[in-house]
Amino acid sequence: MCSSPVRAISCSEHARLEEEYIAARDRMRDFLKSSREAADLRLRELTRIEQRRLADEVAMAIARLKEHAAAHGCERR
């Protein structure tokens, strides 16, 4: 059980889930920067699909992190 903020740092699963979220968030940010430059209509359609996929990935990473924190009581404060 990871009940204190100090333990949250040492909880390897919590740290892994945080890294997963940060990576997904960064991919979404990079995608949004590059999609603003897309001029081709077909490319824009592909980017909408990719944006939905990345948004789902970020949402799932957040959900897994929250689920873990709730189950184990470890959360950064």
- Quote the pLDDT of residue 41: 57
Q: What is the pLDDT of residues 5-50, one digit of tens each?
A: 444 456 888 999 999 999 999 998 888 777 666 666 556 666 778 8
- Quote the pLDDT of residue 59: 96
Is residue 3 within 8 Å of 74, Cβ to Cβ? yes
**Which residue ranges make up each domain of the chain?**
5-68
- Quote the pLDDT of residue 64: 94
DSSP, residue by residue, 53-71: HHHHHHHHHHHHHHHHHHH
